[in-house]
Amino acid sequence: MKKMWIVLLLVQCYLAASHKYPDPDAKILSIKATLPFASAMTNPHNITPFDHCETNVTPPTVFKIPEYEINLDLPAEDRWTKLVSDKREKIIALIESIKQNCDQLFGKSLFWMVNEFLPLLTQTLPAEYRQELLGISSATGLSVGEITLFNVFYEFFSVCTSIVAKSEEGVLYHGRNLDFGLFLGWDPANHTWLTTNLLKPLVVKLNFTQGNKTLYQSISYAGHTGILTALKPGKFALSIDERFKLDGGYVGIVEWILGMRNQQWISFLTREVMEKCTSYSCAQKELAKPPLVAPVYFILSGVSPSEGSIITRGRNDFNIWPLGQKHKNQTGDWFLVQTNFDQWKKPPFYDDRRTPAIFCMDKEGNKDVPQALQNVLSTRPVLNKLTTYTAIMSAEKNMFEVWIQSCPDPCWPW
């Protein structure tokens, strides 16, 4: 039991900075507010986060996103071997960088606990996923603790934007930016976040197959086994955005470690939903229902004109915000925007990506929705220094596009 409490210390390594800001629901995001140096470094010209909507954005074609098959018929420990062997050097570079940052922030004594104590957490994970993590560990030579860290704590440190939008013809499109790397090291020379840079070459498209058929596709970082962005062609598309709450993931992890295992990890739940559900309504029900280790937003789009929603999950409750609802400043009722704040609350002043996204979506209109999403997701600060990739999906059109983003100066750090 004593060891388990040390796992919590490790969690603390990641959450410590969050206690300095008084707004309880902005807990982890408040890290942003406690890093004025980052702002000072990126913001030499006093830029404002938002000044105009981008237009006519075309995705860069320079970087081809690699595709891999994850064969679910293989034993769990072999499924990821090809992918993580190919990306081994890059995964190691990322973990090394996180390690150094953690050491700098909290002293050397903290990261060694990853190897000592996270394997205890690994042992408690559902068998199939535990086997996958063990397989990745032996394929990369990284410790089980490091691989677990990479997988489990992802859920707590991404900051993202998701938009579901319906075209004039009633076709649903689903766009998302995945922003990751907050507070894990600022590179003053390049004006970039170290972790964000190291994640970009890890972005891959995955086909999860069974019986030689593609069950669903996802966009992932090599080494991460969960689902953050995924498409079931002809059925539905899903993305997840972080939700920060005081009684959030921290409490959930504590309870899990103490043996209260009737709750689900978000990454594993989304894998199950992608695998088992064959309709939007099934996905919506299954995402809304089970108790969760951490709060989260699920953004879901289907194949008929009304099938779009944001499912705001507490650990034991849910709220569904369906397509058709509007924010105060929103004119059109054909799209939904979700960042990292509850729909019924104002976003905090230091991180308002929602207002510009809504403003620009309204300005775009619903004639050419994929183009509108490309433009809006490339508009600062919806696009910021943390953005790793932009994806646009449509279950009906079987569209599954992704490209690596960059945000040259002047650009807001988050």
The catalytic residue positions are: 160
- 88: number of Cβ within 10 Å: 17
123: tokens are 């042992």
Closest distance of CB 190 from ligand NAG, Å: 4
Taking CA atoms, 130 is separated from 41, 134, 208, 268, 389, in Å, by 41, 6, 18, 11, 27
Given 23, 96, 168, 187, the residue binding ligand NAG (CB under 6 A): 187
Q: Which amino acid is at 298?
A: F
Q: What angle do CA 331, 341, 192 make, to 5 degrees?
A: 105
Closest distance of CB 178 from ligand NAG, Å: 19
Rounded to 10 degrees, the C-alpha dihedral 108/251/316/263 comes to: 60
* 346 touching ligand NAG, by CB under 6 A: yes
Given 54, 69, 116, 255, the residue binding ligand NAG (CB under 6 A): 69
**Beta carbons of 178 and 317 less than 8 angstroms apart:** no
Site stretch for ligand NAG (CB under 6 A), options 62-70, 82-90, 133-141, 257-265: 62-70
226: tokens are 């969960």
* 355 touching ligand NAG, by CB under 6 A: yes
Given 42, 167, 195, 197, the residue binding ligand NAG (CB under 6 A): 197
Q: Do β-strands 192-193 and 186-187 pair in parallel, antiparallel, or remain unpaired?
A: antiparallel
Q: In this complex, which beta carbon is closest to ligand NAG, that of residue 109 or of residue 190?
A: 190
Contacts of 47 (CB under 8 A, 6+ apart): 410, 411, 412
Closest distance of CB 210 from ligand NAG, Å: 8
Distance CA 95, CA 147 (A): 9
Q: Do β-strands 67-71 and 203-210 pair in parallel, antiparallel, or remain unpaired?
A: parallel
Given 2, 46, 58, 73, the residue binding ligand NAG (CB under 6 A): 73
* 86 touching ligand NAG, by CB under 6 A: no
Given 34, 81, 143, 214, the residue binding ligand NAG (CB under 6 A): 214
* 285 touching ligand NAG, by CB under 6 A: no
The pattern of x and - marking residues 8 through 47 that bind ligand NAG according to CB under 6 A reads ----------------------------------------
Given 207, 279, 319, 343, the residue binding ligand NAG (CB under 6 A): 207
Given 40, 44, 51, 67, the residue binding ligand NAG (CB under 6 A): 67
* 408 touching ligand NAG, by CB under 6 A: no
Peptide bond into 60 cis (omega under 30): no
* 328 touching ligand NAG, by CB under 6 A: yes
Give the residue among 79, 95, 74, 171 at the shortest CA–CA distance from 393.
171
Given 58, 212, 262, 408, the residue binding ligand NAG (CB under 6 A): 212
Closest distance of CB 143 from ligand NAG, Å: 24
77: tokens are 């420990």
Q: Total binding residues for ligand NAG by CB under 6 A?
A: 16
DSSP string computed for 108-142: TTTTHHHHHHHHHHHHHS-HHHHHHHHHHHHHH--
Closest distance of CB 258 from ligand NAG, Å: 40
Closest distance of CB 310 from ligand NAG, Å: 16
Given 85, 138, 278, 329, the residue binding ligand NAG (CB under 6 A): 329
Q: In this complex, which beta carbon is closest to ligand NAG, that of residue 55 or of residue 406?
A: 406
Residue identified by tokens 């004639």 is 367
Q: Do β-strands 229-232 and 213-221 pair in parallel, antiparallel, or remain unpaired?
A: antiparallel
227: tokens are 């689902």
* H helical segments located in 277-337: 280-288
Distance CA 390, CA 304 (A): 24
Closest distance of CB 289 from ligand NAG, Å: 30
The pattern of x and - marking residues 136 through 165 that bind ligand NAG according to CB under 6 A reads ------------------------------
Q: Which amino acid is at 291?
A: P
Q: In this complex, which beta carbon is closest to ligand NAG, that of residue 55 or of residue 214?
A: 214
| Interacting residue ranges for ligand NAG, rule: CB under 6 A | 67-69, 73, 187, 189-190, 197, 207, 211-212, 214, 328-329, 346, 355
